[in-house]
Amino acid sequence: MNEIRIFCPATIANISCGFDVLGVALDAVGDEMVVRKTSDKGIKITKLTGQDLPLETEKNVAGVAGLALLENSDYKGGFEIEIYKKIKAGSGIGSSAASSTGAVWAMNKLLGEPFSTLELVKFAMEGERLASGVAHADNVAPALFGGFTLVRSYDPLDVIPIPSPDELFATVIHPQIEVKTSDSRSVLKTNITLAQGIKQWGNVGGLVAGLFTSDYDLIGRSLVDHIIEPIRSILIPGFENVKTEAIKSGALGCGISGSGPSIFAFSKGEATAKKVATSMKEVYQNIGIDYDVHVSKINAAGIKEI
């Protein structure tokens, strides 16, 4: 096989209480990429549609992630990459992660899968380092493993796949403003109090337990962020209203998707998730901000060939 076309899912990182450690892959929105082997060494981004992003290998997250893989491989040739972006950059649903993971996943397939999924996470994290200044793994891990993932440790890297309850649906609304991850990280404090930590890790444990046991009420009770959301939500117009309306419409919980400005909610069942979408849309219609909205099942498989 010399060429592969793939779907690279959007992802929700943090999931309220799990800053930089929890993430989940979505089904309803994602990019497409075509990756092919070439006899020329190195990586060339030959096509990029849908977003205005750099084509130079060293400035493109897919290029940088791909180079990280090549440096660790004895393959003598190279790759061409075409990227068809559907996920907007700076939307908070893992646009850079989709490109970084897609590149390394496809290259690994074309090379006969010499690398483990965990190794691919490490390569893709180099793309995140380029995009945000920090090599966080909470978007790239769920894109590669599928479903929910917990980054239990960064050093050494330890990623734990977590099961997705069958009836869990996500609603994601993207108000059409751009928030760069590097900017929304720069507003964060670097210290927290013990009292904040106790509340936060209680919720992380609760959320993981709820996902393992399909306990929807426990999932809902645990979707609380005492540390990041109070600071970042100020950057997102209408955030508190969207959250209030989503919960009123039956969502289990609601919070900032990744570094924002997208806002996500989880619901039990697709019908509720659609009702939540309608109530979220109304908030932005009333304040006159354009939006995209997605209702999605959890994507248990992650990146796939199409």
Q: How far is the CB of 185 from ligand HSE (least distance, A)?
A: 5
In this structure, what token pair is assigned to residue 245?
A: 């309306």
In the complex with ligand HSE, the residue whose CB is nearer, 4 or 53, is: 53
Position 101 contacts ligand HSE (CB under 6 A): no
Q: Is 14 in the site for ligand HSE (CB under 6 A)?
A: yes
- Is 71 annotated in the active site? no
- Is the CB of residue 295 less than 8 Å from the CB of residue 28? yes
Residue 189 burial (CB count, 10 A): 9
* Catalytic, out of 32, 126, 128, 229: 128
Site for ligand HSE in 144-163 (CB under 6 A): none
Q: What is the C-alpha separation between 157 and 297, in angstroms, rounded?
A: 28
Residues 73 and 109 sit within 8 Å (Cβ to Cβ)? no
Contact window for ligand HSE (CB under 6 A) among 136-144, 209-217, 266-274, 281-289: 136-144
Whether 128 sits among the annotated catalytic residues: the reply is: yes
Number of chain residues interacting with ligand HSE (CB under 6 A): 11
**Choices 107-115, 131-139, 216-224, 292-300; region in contact with ligand HSE by CB under 6 A:** 131-139
Catalytic residue, chosen from 11, 101, 149, 181, is 181
Choose the binding region for ligand HSE from 133-141, 144-152, 207-215, 269-277 (rule: CB under 6 A). 133-141
Out of 85, 88, 122, 136, name the contact with ligand HSE by CB under 6 A. 136
Segment lying near ligand HSE (by CB under 6 A), choices 14-22, 52-60, 79-87, 192-200? 14-22
In angstroms, the Cα distances linking 90 to 43, 95, 207, 248 are 24, 7, 26, 28
Residue 9 in the binding site for ligand HSE (CB under 6 A): no
Cα separation, 61 vs 63, whole angstroms: 5
**Alpha-carbon distance 250 to 276, whole Å?**
7
How many Å apart are CA 168 and CA 216, to the nearest integer?
8
Please report how close the Cβ of residue 75 comes to ligand HSE at its closest, in angstroms: 30
List the x/- string, 173-192, binding to ligand HSE by CB under 6 A.
--------x---x-------
Contact at 8 Å (CB) between 98 and 87? yes
CA atoms within 13 A on the CB side of 225: 24
Computed from CA positions of residues 62, 33, 146, 262, in that sequence, does the dihedral angle turn out positive or negative?
Answer: positive
Report the catalytic residues.
128, 181
Residues at the interface with ligand HSE (CB under 6 A): 13-14, 19-20, 136, 138-139, 181, 185, 258-259
